[in-house]
A and B are shown apart, each in its own frame.
Chain A
Amino acid sequence: MKEAARIQDVTFRYASGDAGALDGLDLTIGQGECVLLCGGSGCGKTTVTRLLNGLIPHYYEGDLTGTVTVFGKSVRETAIEALAGTVGSVFQDPRSQFFCVDTTSEIAFGCENMGLPEQEILRRVDRTTEDMHIRPLLGRSIFDLSGGEKQKIACAGVAAMLPELIVLDEPTSNLDLDAIGELREIIRNWRAQGKTIVITEHRLGWLEGLCDRVLYMEDGRITRSFTGERFFSFDTEQLNEMGLRALRTAHPYLTSRTGLTQIKPFDGQEVLTLEGFRYAYGKHTALAIDRLTLPQGAVIAVIGHNGAGKSTFTRCLCGLQKGFKGKVTIGGRTYRPREMLRQSYMVMQDVDHQLFAETVLEETMLGAEETDLAAAMEILETLQIAACKDRHPMSLSGGQKQRVAIASALMAGKRLLVFDEPTSGLDFRSMEQTAQLLRSVGRELTVLIVTHDMELIDRCCTHLLHIEGGTVTHDLS
């Protein structure tokens, strides 16, 4: 087998002090091979992808020793732009890898940068869209696409440059199950074309049957190596022991009936009654639920396919949707949307958007009814972040930031907490911690979790709320 890339005895530390340092890493990737890199957060797998596409050492600074060659070119001596035609990269967040506002220009962007003749670019755009079956997406506005569609356009933009090696860094972090299925098809297609592929991932199940080799990384080294067949025969216990997510979950929840289903023992009696949950964007009805009761104090997973109305539902429930006129009854009292705003809190996928203060303690006290220091400390204590009470919230890890957001909600006496994809991009250990946290919070107040993460649901949710087509009485057949 011809060699596509070779990493020899590479040690690297980020100048910024970020996690993910490498410690004497050796790796040879053959041409046409599909390699999966896995391991816990901070094990260095993303760093490996950055070595291959030249972002290290040309963009991320740090101390690099050892050699990296890609198709015979030394990465250190080749300008990163010159590697662009050879190595293509797909990143985690589709939001931060687009330059154009329309899909066609976006697919052509890389080729335009290479200065190819116009006719050649048009031919490549045409072939790529044909290969990937994305003709209906051409000429659309990027801002109207779903996360999955955006990721497909990102893949097309990379494919149009005809790279020999494609690296994908956690490409499914922000995708739902349907979109992951489509990404799988794209990678299968690339494999058939003989491209060399390197993927880092936390979610593993979708890669079954695609990978030739699976490398397990710990502390900046490859500590175990498996053939694809061997790796994908592991059971959940073996994977969890290595700190990896399960390949498949026991319950395919999305195929279950719509509406509310209890999936774990739960003995609460009180309920929240939702009435008149109807909402439309112009002529498009997004939500049409006349009456629904939710158990109080439960942890409820809100699931449904893309565009089912999950986020409209939670935004209405929290009183965030303008023009929404429904009402919620809790313990005999009826709340209008404006009042629900005071009863509820939403922890967003991007927690950075909701941390304002200079220290964790100040942040917690911010939404409080009165300046009750003892109560705030108690909450920080329960959430195990009391030790960082004087740190700036932005200096914390993702999981800690989530806890700070929860602390501020608890302190403000909120009775309903909504989480939007709290485990996207988390490894097994962090996911497990989040699950424990959500379960413990759930006893005191009602928790709704909008998620595609079936493993998280298995671990912490007592109920499922399956929404399709904006209702809970949708006929799934």
Chain B
Amino acid sequence: MAGLFTADIENRGLVLDPRTKLFIMITLVVFALGGAGSDTAAVRWGTVAVSALPIVLLLTARSYKTAAVSGCLYALVKAAELCLVPHMTGAALSVCGMCCMIVIRLMPGLLMGTYMLSTTTVSEFIAAMHRMHVPQQITIPLSVMFRFFPTVLEGFASINTAMRMRDIRLGGKHAGKLIEYRLVPLMVCSVNIGSELSAAALTRGLGTGVRRTNICRIGLHWQDLSALALPVGLYGAWILGMIGVIG
């Protein structure tokens, strides 16, 4: 899987609209992390189902390994929380209970974040922001920033290579200066690339007063609707639980 906004567009499986991903992300934050509506049984089980959604999505994005590992981990921890933790007492309870809670609450959100960043292209991101009426003054600087990450990471990789050849590493002779030695060349390269990138952007008309067109096709398709069914259902159950229809 590629890194930040460097989606491998040739081989990324099922494509979801960025807004769908954002909606799922928000749902995970509200229910898995925030624990909203956890006094209703239906919402509790619904949260488990929604927490499994990023794992399914990672499968559709062909990151089989990440999906399998995180799926097993989540299942194990959830089983432990349900079957073992209630029988524990004292220190074991606080330590295990804490660990289970961290994994169960945080992992789905982190996985969703990974999925979101690794499957969305910059153009899709801008198109989605545009549809959500976010002004150009915000989207353009953001998009240039995203474009910048992979290049900086590339630079970082070659700096690391050079350091290995010079035998500057943790525990080596110059361990204390590791950070400084890395940052100086990285900053010099970033400044150079950044200024060249801006120059190139200007000659291609970025920042003209006119409203930008975006040819990137985004929209809600069947896959978005199926991915959205579960989160929407969960909000429904929450509301029903709050007004006391279900218990």
Contact = CB atoms under 8 A, between A and B. Distances in A.
Interface string B128-153: 00000000000000011001001100
A224 B151 CA distance: 40
Contact of A59 (B144, B151, B199): B199
Given A139-B10, A352-B189, A394-B184, A341 B165 contact: yes
Interface string A60-75: 1000000000000000
B208 A113 contact: yes
A105 B121 CA distance: 10
A55 B196 CA distance: 11
Contacts of B162: 346, 348, 353-354
A55 B8 CA distance: 33
B184 A110 contact: no
Contacts of A377: none
B200 A97 contact: yes
Q: How large is the interface on A (under 10, 10 to 19, 20 to 34, 35 or more residues)?
A: 35 or more
A305 to B, nearest CB: 23
Interface residues of B, number: 59
Interface stretch (A140-148, A196-204, A215-223, A454-462): A140-148
B35 interface: no
A142 to B, nearest CB: 9
Given A99-B144, A354-B162, A55 B203 contact: yes
B165 A117 contact: no
B208 A82 contact: yes
A111 B213 contact: yes
Nearest to A405: B162
Contact of B151 (A95, A114, A157): A95
A356 interface: yes
A96 interface: yes
Interface in B183-204: 184-185, 188-189, 192-193, 196-204
B168 A356 contact: yes
B215 A108 contact: yes
A53 to B, nearest CB: 5
Given A113-B212, A353-B162, A81 B206 contact: yes
Interface in B20-73: none
Contacts of A115: 208, 210-213
A141 B213 contact: no
B41 to A, nearest CB: 44
B210 A102 contact: no
Contact of A114 (B2, B158, B205, B215): B205
Given A55-B203, A112-B214, A118-B215, 4 more contacts: A91-B196, A99-B122, A101-B5, A353-B162
B155 interface: yes
A344 B167 CA distance: 11
A25 B72 CA distance: 70
A84 B182 CA distance: 37
A350 to B, nearest CB: 7
A121 B212 CA distance: 12
A421 interface: no
11 contacts: A59-B202, A60-B199, A84-B204, A87-B203, A96-B193, A97-B200, A105-B215, A112-B214, A115-B210, A121-B213, A366-B166
Ordered nearest first, which 8 A-B pairs have the shortest CB separation? A84-B205, A354-B162, A115-B210, A96-B196, A113-B205, A356-B181, A97-B200, A81-B208
Contacts, number: 189
Interface string A86-129: 01110101011111111011001111111111100110010000
B122 A97 contact: no
Contacts of B8: 141, 144
B165 A114 contact: no
A379 interface: no
B96 interface: no
A354 B182 CA distance: 9
Contacts of A141: 6-10
B187 to A, nearest CB: 9
Contacts of A59: 198-199, 202
B215 A320 contact: no
A408 interface: yes
A89 B203 contact: yes
Given A54-B203, A113-B206, A96 B197 contact: yes
Nearest to B166: A367
A101 B9 contact: yes
Given A102-B121, A141-B10, A97 B196 contact: yes
A76 to B, nearest CB: 15
A415 interface: no
B215 A96 contact: no
A100 B185 contact: no
A302 B222 CA distance: 53
A344 B165 contact: yes
Contacts of A394: 184-185, 188
Nearest to B156: A353
Interface string B157-173: 01101111111100000
Contacts of A98: 147
A105 B123 contact: yes
A184 interface: no
Nearest to B206: A113
Contacts of B211: 115
B207 interface: yes
A102 B124 CA distance: 11
Contact of B212 (A85, A97, A112, A357): A112
A473 B217 CA distance: 48
